[in-house]
């Protein structure tokens, strides 16, 4: 299974050159850039761990690529993504988000069905990665 979250998620993995071009676009738009990582990619997990501090007022994509390389080195088997925030309206709105690293094996999700009162059926999504404790999932 291949996780599809964010921009470009249905495309093949981006090369470092393509990532640099996307970061250059974000920088040209005066977006703030951040790098996040997780071992639990559940669609409702909006709280990935942030790598360092957000990179405000960056003028050179190389500085973001440097931080990305450090994050990849520290977390070689986790999901890593880049977010770009637009603060032109006085709020931090995520304008661009894309995954730049995936684990070698993506275990996927299961759909669990539950029959409740009346004829109501509820469905929940269960991430196989959470079957193991945090830190040992990949």
pLDDT of residue 4: 77
Structure tokens at 102: 């995936």
Residue 134 and residue 92: Cα distance in Å, rounded? 29
pLDDT tens-digit profile of 30-70? 999 999 999 877 777 778 999 999 898 889 999 999 999 99
Q: Pick from 48, 12, 34, 136: which is nearest to 94 by CA?
A: 34
Structure tokens at 56: 């405000």
Domain boundaries, the chain: 16-106
Mean pLDDT of 18-40: 93
pTM metric for this prediction: 0.78
The CATH classification number of 16-106 equals: 3.30.190.10
């Amino acid at each position: 299974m291949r996780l599809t979250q964010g921009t470009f998620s249905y495309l093949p993995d981006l090369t470092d050159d393509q990532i640099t071009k996307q970061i250059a676009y974000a920088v040209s738009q005066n977006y703030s850039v951040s790098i996040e990582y997780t071992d639990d990619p559940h669609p409702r997990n909006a709280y990935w761990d942030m790598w360092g501090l957000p990179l405000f007022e960056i003028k050179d994509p190389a500085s973001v690529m440097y931080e990305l390389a450090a994050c990849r080195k520290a977390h070689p088997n986790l999901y890593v993504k880049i977010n770009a925030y637009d603060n032109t309206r006085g709020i931090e709105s995520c304008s661009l988000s894309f995954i730049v690293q995936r684990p070698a094996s993506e275990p996927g999700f299961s759909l669990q069905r539950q029959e409740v009162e009346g004829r109501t059926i509820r469905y929940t999504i269960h991430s196989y990665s959470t079957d193991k404790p945090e830190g040992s999932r990949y």
